[in-house]
Amino acid sequence: MSFPSDLEIARGADLAPLTDIGAALGIGSHLLEPYGEHVAKIKLEAIEELEDRPRARYVLVSAITPTPLGEGKTTTTVGLGQAFKQLGRTATVAIRQPSMGPTFGIKGGAAGGGYSQVVPMEILNLHLTGDMHAVTAAHNQLSAMVDNHLFHGKEPALDPHRITWRRVLDVNDRALRNIVAGLGGRLDGVPRQTGFDITAASEVMAILALATSLSDLRARLGRIVVASDGSGKPVTAEDIGAAGAMAVILREAIKPNLMQTLEQTPVLVHAGPFGNIAHGNSSVVADRIGIRGGDFLITEAGFGADMGAERFFNIKCRTSGLTPDAAVLVATVRALKAHSGRHRIVAGRPLPDELLAENPDDVHAGADNLRKQIENIRVHGVSPVVAINAFPTDHASEHDAIREIAEGMGARVAVSNHFTDGRTGAVELAEAVAEAAEEPSEFAFLYPSEASLREKIEAVATKVYGADGVDYAAPAAKALDEYEANGFGDLPVCIAKTHLSISSDPTLKGAPTGWRLPVREVRASVGAGFIYPLSGDMRTMPGLSTTPAAERIDLDENGEIVGLS
């Protein structure tokens, strides 16, 4: 008998009333705004009402450097949340909202998988409560007002060659990466080159995830830098009168969404910032609610520990004031074998037969990546737990190899079969996480806020990525000087680089040494509250593959969705 699809499993779920799910968090029905039967928004008043409840242990789920297929962080996050119920403990899961671009592309949805899913998975992966559309609308409202400001020649005068604000859509569409707007007659706008990014890459999305309240959201929107004037001075959304309308559009989107897992564990789904040019973490307001919702709050960061976890520690925690008690590092046999340099994995293609053959030597050959990512958790004073996300194609000897590597680094380690067995498959992992989280925390930021921007970049490059140093292109060096002169020097940094290597070169596996981080450009997300240096070519608008998932997604004769994964 074949293993059922994610969609089949999700449709067989026994869902509890959302009032019961909210009650498990200490949230009364007066704080819930239902969106249909199985999703609700949580009013922000919940933050204040829950203040007197005990603080949960705060657990981050990250990973080793992933293959193009991902290593199952979301399924592990969900499975771990479910497993605490088996131990008689309560847990809340907090994750990002999936982007529909990847859902219809190669990656698929982001509801988890197997018997560790957030349900209903169709609703989660498609629209949910419209937050993505609200971010798109707010972003593009600002875009329209920028071009209108330019067209009418209003003050402050915009330099048309230094307008940095683009447009966004929640689709994968490479044809929109670079366009010319304003073509046509005189009344059709000022012709200029611009382009589209995917909505998850919008600074507005990053702001939604980092805002601590509605008033903070409004203030951050006003600080967005959209262009420069003729003298090079930054021009903000507030300067052109756009921030208020944006805040109105986002008034409902700032409220986190409440859902549940297959086993009725509460889930907070909110915001979905990109993991390469933004911080790649779910929202601060969701965590401020979840931190008072039970024994454990489990949240997930995008990509590997060198990216999402580093930004969680140094950007999100700096904003929220919350500090983690433990971190889970998801590792898979296939990813460690890939880091040996002996195998090639391509998204959308079957795994090579030799990768699936029993070979613990290949696991050991790729061990440097796991060791470095354990160090990257520890450098922030957080206890790591290595979660071996088990696949049916794995071999016991390969799991033993990962265990040997992790224990050799002094880390706790557990094999987790949450995908096939749900909460019972993640009990060993939950026990290890509980032990780690109940130890005294020694959390520390990687760098102080008062350090210079160059010192911050170099701290991440050398201490987390393992680089020997940083090389700045002339435009990058100039931008850093300008940002510090404009008063942005106290912001944290969010280095945009490939997620396929700890280094800036996606072809380098393991934990490369003897290299320097090249920074070709530096941009400012002043509203979100970080500076992002770019190392390498970052695609902020993905393209579709030869055979995207969209070709398989349809409605059957009964109007039911098919092909969603």
In a domain, 75, yes or no: yes
The string of pLDDT tens digits covering residues 262-288 is 999 999 999 999 888 899 999 999 999
Do 261 and 408 fall within a single domain? yes
* Angstrom distance (rounded) from CA 20 to CA 558: 31
pLDDT, position 28: 97
Do 172 and 147 fall within a single domain? yes
pLDDT, position 240: 98
Do 261 and 410 fall within a single domain? yes
Do 522 and 432 fall within a single domain? no
Do 422 and 498 fall within a single domain? no
Burial of 408 (0-12, 13-18, 19+ CB in 10 A): exposed
In a domain, 561, yes or no: no
109 pLDDT exceeds 80?
no
Do 155 and 267 fall within a single domain? no
The string of pLDDT tens digits covering residues 447-506 is 999 999 999 999 999 999 999 999 999 999 999 999 999 999 999 999 999 999 999 999
In a domain, 553, yes or no: no
* Angstrom distance (rounded) from CA 499 to CA 310: 13
CATH, residue 230: 3.30.1510.10
Do 13 and 35 fall within a single domain? yes
* Angstrom distance (rounded) from CA 227 to CA 236: 7
Do 393 and 509 fall within a single domain? no
pLDDT, position 248: 98
124 pLDDT exceeds 90?
yes
In a domain, 152, yes or no: yes
What is the total count of domains within the chain?
Answer: 3
| 208: containing domain | 131-249
184 pLDDT exceeds 80?
yes
The string of pLDDT tens digits covering residues 509-559 is 999 999 999 999 999 999 999 999 999 888 889 999 888 889 989 999 989
Domain end residue (candidates: 223, 249, 275) = 249
Average pLDDT, integer, range 229-250: 96
Residue type, 380: H
Domain end residue (candidates: 221, 249, 277) = 249
Residue 255 near residue 42, CB atoms below 8 Å: yes
Residue 306 near residue 65, CB atoms below 8 Å: yes
Residue type, 379: V
In a domain, 543, yes or no: no
Which residues have C-beta within 8 Å of that of residue 155, sequence separation ≥ 6?
A: none
- pLDDT above 70 coverage of the chain, percent: 99
Do 119 and 31 fall within a single domain? yes
7 pLDDT exceeds 90?
no
Q: What pTM value is reported for the model?
A: 0.95
Do 306 and 377 fall within a single domain? yes
Do 426 and 338 fall within a single domain? yes
Confidence of residue 67 (pLDDT cuts 50, 70, 90): confident
pLDDT, position 1: 58
The string of pLDDT tens digits covering residues 26-62 is 999 999 999 999 999 999 999 999 999 999 999 999 9
Do 264 and 364 fall within a single domain? yes
Domain end residue (candidates: 249, 273, 289) = 249
- Alpha-carbon torsion (173, 174, 177, 179), positive or negative: negative
